[in-house]
């Protein structure tokens, strides 16, 4: 690797780090004779996780960090004075292949600033993926960021080579997007999303008729929303996420706590640190919608538009609905058991399977994996003596389950320092 490409790698990997929607999951491609690598379910190398929990290393990089847009929240905005670089298509392809052969990476996550116009930039991204697949026979994972405003033809071509395509919503409400990024609108974001969806569904139908028909973006699509840059409530964010999940090809919505990279812009909030607790709560709520059969209006509503930062959303829901509890763990349906704080999907399935043979008590539930510290207030079983949420009141249960504050160091205490 020559010094020029190495310097570009440093700049473009640094510029790419704020995009979090880069999990490599949802597709499997076995190694084939004559092809390089496979896809299993330093600088620029990020760690993502497959569906079975394995860590996947990706080269996470931008094609260029030059951009014609001046989005207030973006480090690569046009008006920022920062080092700029552009990799040619051949340089990026060679870089990916060399990293792969050295076993540094298992795939590529490629995004780009917009230069000239969306179609010009998208065409170069497609060329990278096409050269990797057709010239170098690269069989590893490829995730391409589709450029908002790109034509249907280019998005369709990208889907033939990429495992996953994604377009970032960034700001949930269009009026706030217009405030921070006047040159963008939601139409330019949702149009490529629709092209991707149509491509995946058409490919699926074609493969039903022709077994070896080419796949289109087999890992579907994802998107990202910035949390805390504008005044949206968690209700606004989760209702948009819920609507996106209604689309059959949307696999993941990522939430990125706003990082204050452009402190001089008065349109942005003055945050000392990213809202990481809020980001975490949104992921937990997202999990409830996807795997626990919760509706979004059960998690947030007009009375509770924001998630509780002190307790997780499942516990928050349970404390707001004490009339639903306690439930008899030896009789309740699977869907009801899923709603008990401290019981996950795996534990709920084990409970259903285990109680066929004998009644379950405190120790059996604990052995199954139930977090009894939480669950004990919301269930009854064959030997549970603990008072339930209705006997103790939700406020009391909440106070018992709140995280204990960390002990502060008494500055008046005598302290010792040791030197080498």
Return the pLDDT at 243.
Answer: 95
86 to 61, 81, 133: CA distances (angstroms):
11, 16, 22
Decide if pLDDT at 408 tops 70: no
Question: Which has the higher per-residue pLDDT, 210 or 130?
Answer: 130
Using alpha carbons, select from 18, 6, 74, 73 the residue that is nearest to residue 46: 18
Q: Tokens 């409530």 appear where?
A: 233
**Beta strands per DSSP E along 33-179:** 45-49, 55-62, 107-111, 141-145, 164-166
Using alpha carbons, select from 89, 86, 59 the residue that is nearest to residue 4: 86
Contact 164, 219 (CB under 8 A): yes
Return the pLDDT at 41.
Answer: 39
Among positive and negative, which fits the CA dihedral 149, 150, 153, 156?
Answer: negative
Return the pLDDT at 273.
Answer: 83
State how far the Cα of 17 lies from the Cα of 20, in Å rounded to an integer: 7
**Average pLDDT value for the chain:** 86
Tens of pLDDT, residues 382-391: 876 678 888 8
Return the pLDDT at 280.
Answer: 95
Mean pLDDT of 277-306: 95
Percent of the chain at pLDDT > 90 equals: 63
Q: Tokens 């639903």 appear where?
A: 324
Return the pLDDT at 236.
Answer: 96
- Cβ atoms within 10 Å of 137's Cβ, excluding its own: 12
Return the pLDDT at 5.
Answer: 86
Mean pLDDT of 212-222: 88
Tens of pLDDT, residues 54-74: 566 888 899 999 999 999 999
- Paired tokens of 378: 């919301």
Q: Give the pairing type, strands 55-62 and 45-49.
A: antiparallel
What fold does the segment set 3-24+39-299 form as a domain? TIM Barrel (3.20.20)
Return the pLDDT at 51.
Answer: 54
Return the pLDDT at 419.
Answer: 43
- Cβ atoms within 10 Å of 249's Cβ, excluding its own: 20
**In which band, very low, low, confident or very high, does the pLDDT at 3 lie, cut at 50, 70 and 90?**
confident
Span of 50-59, 184-193, 272-281 with lowest mean pLDDT? 50-59
Query: Using H for helix, E for strand and C for coil, what is the string for 288-331?
Result: HHHHCCCCHHHHCCCCCCCCCCCCCHHHHHHHHCHHHCCEECCC
Start-end of CATH 3.20.20.70 domains in the chain = 3-24+39-299
- Paired tokens of 111: 């995004």
């Amino acid at each position: 690797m020559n010094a020029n490409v190495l310097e570009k790698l440093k700049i473009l990997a640094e510029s790419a780090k704020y995009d979090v929607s880069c999990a490599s999951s949802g597709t499997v491609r076995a190694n084939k004779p004559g092809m390089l690598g496979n896809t299993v379910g330093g600088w620029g190398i990020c760690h993502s996780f497959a569906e079975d929990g394995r860590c996947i290393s990706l080269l996470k990089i931008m094609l260029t960090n030059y951009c014609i847009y001046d989005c207030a929240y973006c480090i690569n905005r046009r008006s920022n004075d920062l080092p700029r670089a552009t990799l040619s298509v051949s340089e990026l392809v060679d870089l990916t292949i060399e990293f792969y052969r050295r076993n540094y990476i298992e795939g590529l996550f490629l995004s780009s600033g917009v230069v000239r116009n969306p179609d010009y930039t998208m065409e170069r991204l497609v060329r990278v993926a096409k050269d990797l697949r057709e010239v170098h026979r690269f069989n590893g994972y490829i995730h391409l960021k589709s450029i908002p405003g790109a034509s249907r033809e280019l998005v369709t071509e990208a889907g033939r080579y990429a495992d996953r395509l994604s377009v970032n919503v960034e700001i949930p409400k269009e009026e706030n997007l217009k405030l921070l990024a006047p040159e963008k609108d939601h139409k330019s974001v949702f149009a490529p999303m629709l092209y991707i969806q149509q491509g995946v569904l058409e490919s699926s139908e074609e493969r039903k008729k022709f077994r070896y028909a080419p796949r289109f973006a087999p890992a579907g699509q994802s998107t990202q929303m910035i949390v805390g840059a504008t005044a949206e409530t968690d209700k606004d964010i989760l209702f948009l996420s819920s609507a996106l999940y209604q689309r059959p090809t949307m696999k993941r919505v990522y939430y990125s706590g706003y990082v204050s990279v452009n402190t001089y812009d008065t349109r942005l909030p003055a945050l000392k640190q990213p809202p990481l607790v809020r980001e975490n709560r949104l992921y937990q709520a997202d999990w409830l919608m996807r795997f626990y059969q919760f509706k979004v209006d059960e998690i947030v509503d007009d009375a509770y538009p924001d998630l509780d930062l002190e307790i997780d959303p499942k516990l928050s829901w349970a404390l707001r609905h004490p009339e639903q509890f306690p439930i008899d763990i030896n009789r309740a349906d699977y869907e009801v058991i899923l709603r008990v704080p401290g019981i996950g999907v795996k534990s709920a399935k084990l409970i259903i399977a285990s109680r066929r043979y004998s009644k379950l008590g405190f120790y059996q539930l604990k052995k199954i994996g139930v977090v009894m510290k939480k669950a004990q207030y919301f269930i009854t079983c064959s030997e549970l003596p603990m008072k339930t949420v209705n006997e103790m009141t939700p406020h009391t249960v909440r106070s018992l389950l709140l995280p204990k504050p960390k002990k502060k160091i008494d500055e008046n205490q005598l302290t010792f320092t040791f030197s080498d």
